[in-house]
């Protein structure tokens, strides 16, 4: 599983980072980016789904293996 | 609530007048201010974009998906006016030294909005606002110290209202004893002044004079506060104009005070009436972040306006150029099409993409600061006062209009 933040849509609500700081990082302005290539380590799938569900901008997508 | 019941209620209140909320809504109606939820439920169902001719033509969407769509469409829906009641400038406005001061980036559209927002964002990141967490905690405790032995307090006046202006004062590097003055200015600008220009004009002038002097002083002698940092900032190699900076400082004061104070107050109003929720937060402190989001969803304080750039037909509504659109984010956050059991406060709710801070390019720049203040205020209150209730539910008063929250909230505790 991989997560990806659409940089055009992210408005820096930071909800993904609060839910799953293992999977997302923030730049100086608060815009989010997936950590590394977005690969979700085993056991964090639920957090990835929560991050998608709570993003008010619908900016995060999941690519299932 | 059925239309007839709603009409009857308004009729009883106003004597002969009957209000149809779909075509004649009034956000200042005292019943609506106290309890807007039945109106939103009915509108979402029957006329999801309501209209009124009060204070010029304006429209009010109430469904989540409509709020989302309009907020994203900044080309048709401009932020150059953010208040629903048009403010008539005084005849001598152009003579004022502060003529033309706005509140960027909340009052900006792209392209100005883009750089004006970038100027502010680094100072309101999670990391940047965490610097103020310890002092917010100390502040909360020092407020509680003043009333804990009395067995009662006004949780709005003595607590919620006291916190945001002091945090903002710290950020701007101005003395904490300015806090009550800030609160007075902000109320006269945005709460009482929204419908009363006599209060609004002088408050605006005094606040801008104060901020102007602060900026001039930092130019002479920079410190490490936010005003000094904004003075050092450059946009495309140029320093930011004085008038822009003054507007941004104005925004920091007016956007960060009654909004957050309303949220903290609404949270305590809820907790005062829900012992199970108090217990849940005390037994499971790790859910505090979810709880803050849920309280923001259920009691979203802020409704901003947009103004149409051209004639727009949205969802069958013929909007004229320069019509206002009242962005009812609070109603969106109770939309049953988006949230299960929307009227139920579920502090550990996991699916909660609320838009209390707006959505799209104008997402509240201070959202991390507001969340920190809410979290700390609730945590410290519950540590010291785990058990409390409303002293007299009928003594609770609410401010409405575009920022909704309790203004008097008497509570008692053993």
> CB B351 to CB A55 under 8 A?
no
Per-residue pLDDT at A44: 98
Query: What is the rounded average pLDDT of the residues B99-121?
Result: 95
The whole-angstrom distance between B372's CA and the closest CA on chain A is 12
The whole-angstrom distance between A37's CA and the closest CA on chain B is 23
> CB A50 to CB B352 under 8 A?
no
Query: What is the rounded average pLDDT of the residues B242-247?
Result: 96
Whether residue B366 has pLDDT greater than 90? yes
**Residue B197's pLDDT band (cuts 50, 70, 90):** confident
* Cβ atoms of residues B166 and B173 within 8 Å: no
Low-confidence ranges of chain A (pLDDT < 70): none
Q: What is the dihedral of CA B247, B251, B253, B257, to 10 degrees?
A: 170
Per-residue pLDDT at A65: 79
Per-residue pLDDT at B18: 60
Per-residue pLDDT at B17: 55
CA B144/CA B347 separation, integer angstroms: 24
The whole-angstrom distance between B49's CA and the closest CA on chain A is 21
pLDDT tens digits, residue range B119-178? 999 999 999 999 999 999 999 999 999 999 999 999 999 999 999 999 999 999 999 899
> CB A12 to CB B353 under 8 A?
no
Q: Where are the alpha helices (DSSP H) in B173-287?
A: 179-186, 197-220, 226-232, 242-255, 258-273, 275-283
**Residue B107's pLDDT band (cuts 50, 70, 90):** very high
Write out the E strands in B27-179. 49-52, 58-61, 77-78, 152-154
Q: What is the distance in angstroms between the CA of the first residue and the CA of the last residue of chain A?
A: 5
Give me the sign of the Cα torsion angle B78, B83, B84, B90: negative
Closest chain B CA to residue A15? B353
Whether residue B11 has pLDDT greater than 70? no
Residues recorded for chain A:
65
Please name the residues in contact with B392: beta carbons below 8 A apart, sequence gap of 6 or more: B410
Q: How far is CA B119 from CA B101, B213, B229, in A?
A: 17, 21, 10
Backbone angles phi, psi at A56, to 5 degrees: -70, -20
Tokens of B380: 């410290």
Mean pLDDT of chain B: 93
> CB A13 to CB B126 under 8 A?
no
ipTM of model over 0.95: yes
| Residue B122 forms contact with A (CB below 8 Å) | yes
């Amino acid at each position: 599983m991989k997560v990806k933040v659409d940089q055009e849509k992210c408005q820096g609500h930071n909800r993904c980072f609060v839910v799953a700081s293992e999977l997302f990082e923030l730049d100086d302005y608060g815009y989010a980016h997936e950590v590394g290539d977005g690969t979700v380590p085993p056991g964090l799938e639920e957090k990835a789904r929560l991050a998608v569900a709570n993003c008010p901008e619908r900016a995060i997508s999941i690519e299932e293996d | 609530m059925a239309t007839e019941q709603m009409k009857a209620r308004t009729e009883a209140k106003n004597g002969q007048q009957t209000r149809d909320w779909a075509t004649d809504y009034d956000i200042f109606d005292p019943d609506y201010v106290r309890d807007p939820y039945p109106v939103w439920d009915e509108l979402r169902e029957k006329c999801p974009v309501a209209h009124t001719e009060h204070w010029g033509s304006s429209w009010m969407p109430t469904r989540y998906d409509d709020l989302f769509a309009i907020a994203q469409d900044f080309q048709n829906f401009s932020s150059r006016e953010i208040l629903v009641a048009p403010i008539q400038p005084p005849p001598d406005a152009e003579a004022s030294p502060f003529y033309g001061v706005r509140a960027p980036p909340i009052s900006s559209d792209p392209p100005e909005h883009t750089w004006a927002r970038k100027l502010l964002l680094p100072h309101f990141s999670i990391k940047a606002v965490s610097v103020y967490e310890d002092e917010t905690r100390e502040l909360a405790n020092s407020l509680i110290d003043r009333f804990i032995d009395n067995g009662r307090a006004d949780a709005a006046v003595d607590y919620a209202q006291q916190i945001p202006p002091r945090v903002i004062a710290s950020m701007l590097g101005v003395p904490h004893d300015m806090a009550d003055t800030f609160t007075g200015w902000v109320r006269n600008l945005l709460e009482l002044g929204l419908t009363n220009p006599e209060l609004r004009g002088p408050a605006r002038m005094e606040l801008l004079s104060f901020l102007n002097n602060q900026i001039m002083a930092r130019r002479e002698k920079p410190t490490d506060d936010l005003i000094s940092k904004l003075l050092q900032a450059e946009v495309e190699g140029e320093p930011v104009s004085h008038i822009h900076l003054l507007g941004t400082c104005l925004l920091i004061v007016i956007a960060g005070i009654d909004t957050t104070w309303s949220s903290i107050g609404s949270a305590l109003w809820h907790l005062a009436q829900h012992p199970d929720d108090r217990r849940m937060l005390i037994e499971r402190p790790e859910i505090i972040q979810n709880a803050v989001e849920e309280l923001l969803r259920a009691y979203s304080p802020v409704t901003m306006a947009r103004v149409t750039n051209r004639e727009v037909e949205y969802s069958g509504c013929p909007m004229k150029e320069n019509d206002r659109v009242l962005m009812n984010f609070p109603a969106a956050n109770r939309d049953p099409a988006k949230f299960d059991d929307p009227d139920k406060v579920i502090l550990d709710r996991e699916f909660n993409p609320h838009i209390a801070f707006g959505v799209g390019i104008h997402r509240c720049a201070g959202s991390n600061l507001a969340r920190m203040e809410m979290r700390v205020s609730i945590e410290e209150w519950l540590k010291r006062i785990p058990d409390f209730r409303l002293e007299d539910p009928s003594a609770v008063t609410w401010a409405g209009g575009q920022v909704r929250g309790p203004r008097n909230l008497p509570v008692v505790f053993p």
